Amino acid sequence: MIKLQHVEMLLAIEQAGSIRAASKRLGKTQPAVTKALRQAETELGAAIFKRAPSGVAVTEDGKQILRRAGIIQAELRKMQEEVEQRRGDGTGRLNVTVSPLAASRIIGGTIRRFRRRFPKVRVQITGGHEPMAFGPVRDGLVDFVIGPEPREADAAGLSVAHLVETPISVIASTASRWAGETRLEAIAAADWLMIGTYKRLPYLQRHFISRGLPPPDPMVTSDSITSILAMVEDGDFLCTFPGLLIDRVCAKWRICALDLDESLQASRIALVTASERPPTPAMQYFADCVLQVARNEIGPPIP
């Protein structure tokens, strides 16, 4: 059976890109790391790494093995953090992925509240979008996603706490030929941008497909909200955007929201965690802070 020290060693090789570099990181000799790697591969019955021009590369079997090794390491870290936090030593680390709405309206107040109780816990906040953000939550690499709730097909293994519902607007430059358009069927053929990656396409196209309209096919996507807003402002593009942020955006950018005859399907914002992982005290308090800030900043949680 593979040992826990093998888990650390395998992940070190993956991160360092070579056995030599991993040996230095672990404070071990290169022959010792090579021997441990061979032991792990023998126990598992699969090659994890293969030679590459500059070090090693991960095999197909290795990708799955290393994914599970990462989950094990994350759980061991959480176990240690929980013990320390229950003893009163509030150290640890949280990884949080936020959508644009959460970044603007929720996370600031959450961090302010959270740090009063857990000032020694480090919090890493990353921008991200559904459905790609949910995999790392299941794997234990991310503790929370605050953003649009998962669709039923993406919800396995996730616990969802609803926070708020936001209208969805379509934004354009104030100088755009589309700025005064009110008909949804007219804008389907426009040049569209999309927040996130192409995997979010169903979230955009559902607004049109549900009405029997040809859906837009955005040629440019971006995780950078600033880039999206800059392209909208300087071009003739359209993009969907959280309605609860429209006033802030229009006040800072030469951007307007289209006054459409038909409302687009609203987006339900939620706090998403892994359903099968017990929270540490810091995680539980962070979740409580999110719920309280969302209630105070935006309104009571939706059912």
Could you give the CA distance from residue 184 to residue 169 in angstroms, rounded to a whole number? Answer: 11
> What are the residue boundaries of the structural domains of the chain, listed by start?
4-72, 90-165+268-297, 168-265
Low-confidence ranges of the chain (pLDDT < 50): none
b/e map 124-146, b = 16+ CB within 10 Å = ebebbbbbbbbebbbebebbbbb
* Overall residue count recorded for the chain in this entry: 303
Q: Contact 285/118 with Cβ under 8 angstroms?
A: yes
Q: Mean pLDDT score of the chain, rounded to an integer? A: 90
Q: Domain 168-265's class?
A: alpha beta
Map residue 11 onto helix, strand or coil: helix
CATH number of 90-165+268-297: 3.40.190.10
pLDDT at site 276 = 83
Q: Per CATH, which fold does 4-72 belong to?
A: Arc Repressor Mutant, subunit A (1.10.10)
Could you give the CA distance from residue 2 to residue 131 in angstroms, rounded to a whole number? Answer: 32
- The H or E element containing residue 56 is strand 55-58
pLDDT tens column, 132-191? 788 888 888 899 999 999 888 788 899 999 999 999 999 999 999 999 999 999 998 899
Q: Is the pTM of this model over 0.85?
A: no
pLDDT at site 301 = 54
b/e map 29-39, b = 16+ CB within 10 Å = eeeebbebbee
- 168-265 matches 90-165+268-297 in CATH topology: yes
Q: Exposure of 242 by Cβ count < 10 A (0-12 exposed, 13-18 middle, 19+ buried)? A: buried
Q: Contact 144/123 with Cβ under 8 angstroms?
A: no
